[in-house]
């Protein structure tokens, strides 16, 4: 089955700790995205990548980092600089980053701070 997998489903972070959220896709998509979802705020774009070895900041990139070493993988690291990391994180991919392309979403990772 083709799709997007995110792991873990739940993740707990301690003060001062960096944590990494995994996102893998087997759809052969070039573009990948990370969103943060908070209640009542919709989805906000953190980072996106149009192609391997390239990525751009979204609207709320501070306190986050990404890498895109392989086409199928786009991990997100939530660093200790992100002071309010509790949220639902969604990864998505699309054939390309063209405006008309549909984005396909993974099941999400819920990050909680201990």
The footprint of another protein (CB under 8 A) covers: 4, 6, 40-45, 48, 50, 58, 90, 92, 97-100, 102-108, 110
Q: Which is nearer to another protein, 1 or 15 (CB)?
A: 1
Rounded Cα–Cα distance for residues 67 and 48 (Å): 10
Q: Which is nearer to another protein, 17 or 96 (CB)?
A: 96
At its nearest, how many Å lie between another protein and the CB of residue 99?
A: 4
Q: Which is nearer to another protein, 37 or 79 (CB)?
A: 37
Q: Which tokens is 113 given?
A: 């701070």
At its nearest, how many Å lie between another protein and the CB of residue 12?
A: 16
């Amino acid at each position: 089955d083709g799709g997007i997998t995110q792991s873990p489903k739940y993740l707990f972070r301690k003060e001062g700790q960096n944590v990494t959220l995994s996102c893998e896709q087997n759809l052969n998509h070039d573009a990948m995205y990370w969103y943060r979802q908070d209640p009542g705020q919709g989805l906000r774009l953190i980072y996106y990548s149009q192609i391997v070895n390239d990525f751009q900041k979204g609207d709320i990139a501070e306190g986050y980092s990404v890498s895109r070493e392989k086409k199928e993988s786009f991990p997100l690291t939530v660093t200790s600089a992100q002071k309010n990391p509790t949220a639902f994180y969604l990864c998505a991919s699309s054939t390309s980053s063209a405006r008309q392309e549909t984005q396909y979403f993974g099941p999400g990772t819920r990050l909680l701070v201990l």
